[in-house]
Amino acid sequence: MKSQVSAPSGLDADLRDRLNPLTRSTPQFHRSKLINAMSTASCVSRTSNPLPPEELPTRQNPLADVVAYSQEGYVTPEESDSLARWMSRLKLQSPRTNILCLSRSTRVAKRILDIIVASGLLILLSPVMLLTAIAVKLTSPGPIIFRQTRVGVNLRKSRQDRRRNLEHATATERRKPGRDRRLELRYGREFTLYKFRTMRTDAEKNGAQFAVRGDSRVTSIGRFLRKTRLDELPQLWNVLRGEMSMVGPRPERPVFIEQLSAEIPDYLQRLGLKPGLTGLAQIENGYDNDIESFRRKVKYDLIYLQNCCVWNDLKILLRTIRVVLTGSGAL
């Protein structure tokens, strides 16, 4: 017997009447996403943000306004000031969930852009990187390059574990402790991120922690590198290796993702794209060191996911130059 999923009682009558027949004809796997999308759309003020005629729901496309909301970023008036209105908005038929929703031509063009820009910057800035390496070595003891595990793109579909029955217990026991690949990739594909070291070698002797303004762990040269973003230049190698993109969500550490995904709804959806050296959230929101700033970052990352294209990438790269020159958003 199929389980019946009905619309939440919090939705207004119009949305609820449209959602109920859809959930009855929608596979179980998609029902929760459909309800969540409707619930989000119902929070949007229709009077303050009227939709154009082509984005109003019809019999052929009953979720037109929901799709438009996810693409255009319709938000409450209080949030409207924080939106990147300068970004080009794409007209999509359905919301994107990950990089595979981009057209093949867009993915190829984005990768070509990554290779050209990363290679050009490595050649052009090689003298600057050499001087930076010397400065790091002379001003504090420890390695020049800082290596850290970060979480990359996640293309795995969430699905139920088919090995729940006790009769499969013996097969499960054959797995060696710490070797379950499902746990290793539960957030995304992990990779080693490279940066010029800006903190003391004992910076995390008390465990992982976010950087704060005026952090005493930062070295003298490290403050300058962070303000000018020069510490990020070694990540151009990550871009060439295909682990990162020039533009995308900022890669986060696994230990922080576990905490943030439990506190911020839809946090894991930002892992649908390759992490970026720069991105919409990085230039609009700056560094993140508290829950509220991470909430804003998720909003920007999801807006970028729905409007990811080469033209917007070029816009973000140009605005990154201003951020680097002014040092805005640095800690």
- Residues 239-265 have pLDDT tens digits of 999 999 999 999 998 888 888 888 888
Q: So what's the pLDDT on residue 18?
A: 52
84 close to 101: Cβ distance less than 8 angstroms: no
Q: So what's the pLDDT on residue 40?
A: 46
Average pLDDT over residues 80-107: 83
Burial class (CB in 10 A: 0-12, 13-18, 19+), 25: exposed
Examine the pLDDT at 42 and tell me if it is beyond 90: no
DSSP assignment of 279-292, as one string?
-HHHHHH----SHH
300 close to 285: Cβ distance less than 8 angstroms: yes
307 close to 276: Cβ distance less than 8 angstroms: no
Average pLDDT over residues 216-233: 90
Pairing label, strands 190-196, 145-151: antiparallel
The neighbouring-strand residues paired with 195 are 146
Residue with the larger pLDDT of the pair 77 and 309: 309
Q: So what's the pLDDT on residue 174?
A: 54
Phi/psi zone of residue 286: left (φ > 0), alpha (ψ -120 to 50 degrees), beta?
A: left
217 DSSP assignment: T
Residue with the larger pLDDT of the pair 77 and 231: 231
Examine the pLDDT at 319 and tell me if it is beyond 70: yes
Task: Enumerate residues 6+ apart whose C-beta is below 8 A from 289.
Answer: 210, 211, 212, 213, 331
91 close to 72: Cβ distance less than 8 angstroms: no
Examine the pLDDT at 200 and tell me if it is beyond 80: yes
Examine the pLDDT at 8 and tell me if it is beyond 90: no
Q: So what's the pLDDT on residue 73?
A: 43
What percentage of residues in the chain have a pLDDT greater than 70? 64
The chain-wide mean pLDDT, for the chain, equals 75
Residue with the larger pLDDT of the pair 79 and 211: 211
Q: So what's the pLDDT on residue 296?
A: 87
Pairing label, strands 190-196, 245-247: unpaired
Examine the pLDDT at 189 and tell me if it is beyond 50: yes
268 DSSP assignment: G
Q: So what's the pLDDT on residue 186?
A: 65
Which of 13-22, 62-71, 118-127, 185-194 is modeled with the greatest confidence?
118-127
Q: Of the ranges 29-33, 73-77, 134-138, 171-175, which one carries the lowest mean pLDDT score? A: 73-77
Q: So what's the pLDDT on residue 75?
A: 42
Average pLDDT over residues 8-31: 49
Examine the pLDDT at 169 and tell me if it is beyond 60: no
Q: So what's the pLDDT on residue 168?
A: 46
Examine the pLDDT at 225 and tell me if it is beyond 70: yes
Q: So what's the pLDDT on residue 83?
A: 65
264 close to 298: Cβ distance less than 8 angstroms: yes
